[in-house]
């Protein structure tokens, strides 16, 4: 499987990693849309949130969400606030088919997203 985020997990392409655990990695987005823009991904290849189902999916998504909140805290975003979002499928504009949470903060964020 040729997946750019699997390559980042493996360390075969570079990324600015801000936090790592056994089952998740957080790294800075290549095309940041906010002063702080980090992606949180599972180390295991899961295509999207729609494929993380059942008890295993529930555990994975829970861990990713708490990991993302830890990342946001470590980036100093707790007071100003931040947004965690995941794009799923073409209408949402998902461009990398490896589940990822965007953590965005450091500026006022518009709502709803475009």
Q: Which residues are catalytic?
A: 100
- Identity of the residue, 64 or 79, whose beta carbon is nearer to ligand DGP in the bound complex: 64
Q: Does 87 bind ligand DGP (CB under 6 A)?
A: yes
Nearest C-alpha neighbor of 28 from the set 111, 98, 92, 105: 105
Q: Does 27 bind ligand DGP (CB under 6 A)?
A: yes
The backbone torsions φ and ψ at residue 101, rounded to the nearest 5 degrees and listed phi first, read -100, 130
Structure tokens at 73: 């805290």
Q: Does 89 bind ligand DGP (CB under 6 A)?
A: no
Q: Are 106 and 34 in contact (CB under 8 A)?
A: yes
Instruction: Enumerate binding residues for ligand DGP (CB under 6 A).
Output: 4, 15, 27-31, 39, 87, 93-96
């Amino acid at each position: 499987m040729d997946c750019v985020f699997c390559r980042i997990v493996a360390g075969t392409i570079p990324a600015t990693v801000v936090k790592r655990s056994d089952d998740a990695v957080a790294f800075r987005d290549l095309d940041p849309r906010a002063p702080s823009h980090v992606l949180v991904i599972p180390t295991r290849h899961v295509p999207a949130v729609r494929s993380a189902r059942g008890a295993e999916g529930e555990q994975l998504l829970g861990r990713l969400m708490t990991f993302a909140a830890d990342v946001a805290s470590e980036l100093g975003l707790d007071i100003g606030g931040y947004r965690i979002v995941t794009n799923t499928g073409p209408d949402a504009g998902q461009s990398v088919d490896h589940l990822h949470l965007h953590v965005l903060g450091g500026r006022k964020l518009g709502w709803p997203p475009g």
